[in-house]
Amino acid sequence: MNADLERERKSATFDPEELSAVLYGGRERLQQKRHLVHLFQSDRTFDGPDARFLSRQEHVAESLRKQVYLIQKCQQLGLESMEEVSIVNNAVLDAGIGPLSLHYAAFVPPIRLMADEQQKQKWLGPAERCEIIGCYAQTELGHGSFVRGIETRADYDEKTKQFVLNTPTITATKWWVGSLGVVATHAILMAQLYTQGKPRGLHPFIVQIRSTDTHKPMPGVIVGDIGPKFGFATVDNGFLRLKDVRIPKDQMLTKAGQVLDDGTYVKPKSAKLVYGGMLGIRASLPRLAAHNIAKATVIAIRYSSVRRQSELKPG
């Protein structure tokens, strides 16, 4: 161990082990965390090339390889709790996140929250088994946090009992959507619903954007990756445009409102349900920020302990 770091630790006014136990909810949970971290970090399957020397495409592909194996290993070990999965994600993935993270954080939860039982039977199982990979397409190029200003439209066609989806302007382009750029086959699409010629507000729809056989975009779909960015480099944030894409009526998540066959609109019990899909992610951001700030603080303290400004001399 570095002599300067050892001296600093010995001069501490508290027991680091006790503090660690407090931070992680007790000694038992701390030992469990250490066990999981060791179990995954000692698995050589997670080894790979230095990400700093990879291209954008190679970096995403390598992260996807690791995350697929991580999911398989969690299933084999019976790790299911969010706490356990979060620990192993942070142990082996860049910044604890990868191309499939938004599938679990932003696609699966809204199905659980806003789908009826029939919709859950159709979509939830395949999503949980990663037979389909999803994203949450809300943010648009011209509309970020101003959700009511979203321009993407879903017009109900009474003759065919289908919704017709369009991004009518450039600013309606879905933008910055995690997992959309490369991996997603489906999206929960937030769009302005129109029935009987009347606007009914924002509603969520499940839309297939890529073939599950060829992974090519579906007819009427323009989709791609937005390219390199600062931070979360392994998440394939993407863009999406739609031109007269038709989906069955039962692909509107019904707990946020319903449309009858003749176009009659039935309001949900609470209009605020439509915003539920993003609440979980928003709530997780402070926890993620705290985790990253803690890492940065440790790095800064260690560096300030060992850095030397002038000529190094013994003693």
All domains of the chain in start order, with CATH: 16-98 (1.10.540.10), 101-276 (2.40.110.10)
Q: What is the mean pLDDT of residues 233-247?
A: 96
Give the DSSP letter of residue 217.
B
pTM here? 0.88
Tens digit of each residue's pLDDT (9 = 90 or more) over 177-217: 999 999 999 999 999 999 999 999 999 999 999 999 999 99
Tens digit of each residue's pLDDT (9 = 90 or more) over 77-91: 999 888 899 899 999
Least confident of 53-57, 201-205, 283-287: 283-287
For residue 314, is pLDDT > 90?
no
Helix, strand, coil percentages in the chain from 3-state DSSP, rounded to 5: 45, 20, 35
Tens digit of each residue's pLDDT (9 = 90 or more) over 248-275: 999 999 988 899 999 999 998 877 777 7
Tens digit of each residue's pLDDT (9 = 90 or more) over 161-171: 999 999 999 99
Least confident of 23-32, 117-126, 227-236: 227-236
Q: Is the dihedral of CA 8, 14, 17, 21 positive or negative?
A: negative
**pLDDT value of residue 167:** 98
